[in-house]
Amino acid sequence: MNSHVRHENSAADLDAAMQIAIGAAESARGFTSPNPAVGAVVLDSAGRIAGVGMTQPPGGPHAEVVALREAGDAARGGTAVVTLEPCNHHGRTGPCSQALLDAGVVAVHYAVGDPNPEAAGGAETLVSAGVEVTSGLRAQDVERGPLRAWLHRQRTGRPHVTWKYAATLDGRSAAADGTSQWITGPEARERVHADRAKLDAIVVGTGTVLADDPRLTARMPDGSLAAHQPVRVVVGLGDIPADARVLDDSAPTLLLRTRDVDEVLAALAEYTDVLLEGGPRLAGAFLAAGRVDRIQAYLAPLVLGAGTSAVTEAGVHTIGGALRFRHESVETIGPDLLLSLVPAVSDNPDSHRT
Ligand code: AOF
Ligand code: ZN
């Protein structure tokens, strides 16, 4: 290692760099599947930002390599801040651990270890070469944020399922006459479209297609299509009309003639980040099967007093059997609330959940 005294990055500088890396990773979500969306920042030897990178589409360079290229010679004696442990394998690209060593980086701070056994080991390689390595910086933000679905799939082998719905204060997703448009305000709708543009697949039941004729595309505020469109998936035994909007050519569409939740997930095994958008029966089936990994509940300050519930038939018959969730975050979005919830760990031994 260099014997001269080098600039020591403060904890605040590293934290700021990690926040930039997380932002970079977020911007790549939707474009990297099946690879994780990773972000990287390279600081020069004086602690200034010299390069920022994010994972490129499969076959393209990893985040670290993009950031190192931008930094060029400024990486020598510098520091890399990365959301995921640098890979150690010759996959579609060379090992990032080696790229960091070749560039002369002397410190690496990453948030989350790589659970993929093929790619893991980057930290060890770097330490063996005399690089200062730490892990855990903003790990929770990364685990809940850009790497959430990918980590879930690495752990379980299944896509990560978010059930998203909008409902009134009394839990209705449609009025008595079936009308359901504009429960939430324009701010929430914009958020939904921005989130859609980062997904791999959106799932709905045939009933929703018949009732609402949704497009299920990710659109920009001006109505144009976002750069990335998730695959649209329609689940159910019933037919949908040939002129349903979900069958237009703005995004690919998959028709799954089943009602079994695990058959749906098996058919979607190549996807990582999946959104379940309704309707109430499909949501109930996923909830009953314990296959909802996160809920995004948009609560609008309206009362209908009648109309369709957001969920029907979730397999619960008594209060003791209620499916319980805890909130990860609560946001206000215009006039609405967005609750992000995850399954509460159950202490009920009869529960299907663990
Ligand atoms: C990193 N930086 O930006 C990403 C990493 O098929 P490959 O060669 O592209 O490798 C994919 C694996 O590499 C992936 O499963 C994960 O373990 C790691 N992804 N690693 O150092 C990155 N995207
Ligand atoms: Zn890599």
Q: What is the CATH number of the domain that holds 259?
A: 3.40.430.10
**Å from CA of 69 to ligand 1 middle:** 17
When pLDDT is averaged across residues 297-317 and rounded to a whole number, the result is 95
**Residue 5, pLDDT score:** 63
Contact 278, 40 (CB under 8 A): no
Exposure string over 138-171, b if 16+ CB within 10 A, otherwise e: bbebbeebbbbbbbbbeeeebbbbbbbbbbbeee
Contacts of 48 (CB under 8 A, 6+ apart): none
User: Is the distance from the beta carbon of residue 91 to the nearest atom of ligand 1 less than 6 Å?
Assistant: yes
Ligand 1 atom closest to the Cα of residue 59 is 9
Ligand 1 atom closest to the Cα of residue 86 is 21
Contact 118, 5 (CB under 8 A): no
When pLDDT is averaged across residues 343-351 and rounded to a whole number, the result is 62
Residues 190, 63, single domain; the answer is no
Residues 178, 228, single domain; the answer is yes
Contact 106, 2 (CB under 8 A): yes
When pLDDT is averaged across residues 4-17 and rounded to a whole number, the result is 88
Residues 144, 163, single domain; the answer is no
Residues 70, 213, single domain; the answer is no
Backbone φ and ψ of 232, nearest 5°: -90, 130
Residues 257, 189, single domain; the answer is yes
Whether residue 336 is annotated as binding a ligand: the answer is no
Surrounding residues of ion ligand 2, Cβ less than 5 A:
62, 87, 96
Residues 96, 237, single domain; the answer is no
Give the tens place of pLDDT for each residue, 261-301: 999 999 999 999 999 998 999 999 999 999 999 999 999 99
Provide the whole-model pTM: 0.92
70-75, long-range: CB within 8 Å, 24+ apart, which pairs? 70/42, 71/42, 71/44, 71/103, 74/42, 74/44, 74/45, 74/50, 75/42, 75/44, 75/50, 75/51, 75/103, 75/104, 75/105
Beta strands in 140-263 (DSSP E): 160-167, 172-174, 201-205, 231-235, 253-256
Backbone φ and ψ of 145, nearest 5°: -100, -115
Domain final residue, candidates 118, 150, 182: 150
**Residue 297, pLDDT score:** 98
Reported as a pLDDT band with limits 50, 70 and 90, residue 4 is low
Please name the amino acid found at residue 342. V
When pLDDT is averaged across residues 186-205 and rounded to a whole number, the result is 96
64 is a catalytic site residue: yes
Domain that holds residue 144: 11-150
- Percentage of the chain beyond pLDDT 70 is 96
Reported as a pLDDT band with limits 50, 70 and 90, residue 93 is confident
Residues 253, 199, single domain; the answer is yes
Residues 141, 220, single domain; the answer is no
Residues 325, 192, single domain; the answer is yes
Residue (of 42, 37, 40) closest to 21 by Cα position: 40
Domain final residue, candidates 150, 185, 209: 150
Nearest ligand by distance to the CA of 96: 2
Residue (of 312, 237, 9) closest to 134 by Cα position: 9
Number of domains in the chain: 2
Q: Which two tokens stand for residue 103?
A: 């560039």
Residue 6 lies in a domain: no
Residues 266, 333, single domain; the answer is yes
Residues 183, 223, single domain; the answer is yes
Catalytic residue among 8, 64, 143, 187: 64
**Å from CA of 96 to ligand 2 middle:** 4
Radius of gyration of the chain (CA): 23
Reported as a pLDDT band with limits 50, 70 and 90, residue 305 is very high
Nearest ligand by distance to the CA of 85: 1
**Residue 92, pLDDT score:** 82
Question: Residue 131 belongs to a domain with what CATH number?
Answer: 3.40.140.10
Residue 92 lies in a domain: yes
Residues 86, 126, single domain; the answer is yes
Ligand 1 atom closest to the Cα of residue 93 is 8
Which helix (H) or strand (E) is 69 found in, with range?
Answer: helix 63-71
**Å from CA of 241 to ligand 1 middle:** 41
Contacts of 75 (CB under 8 A, 6+ apart): 42, 44, 50, 51, 68, 103, 104, 105
User: Is the distance from the beta carbon of residue 39 to the nearest atom of ligand 1 less than 6 Å?
Assistant: no
Residue 349 lies in a domain: no
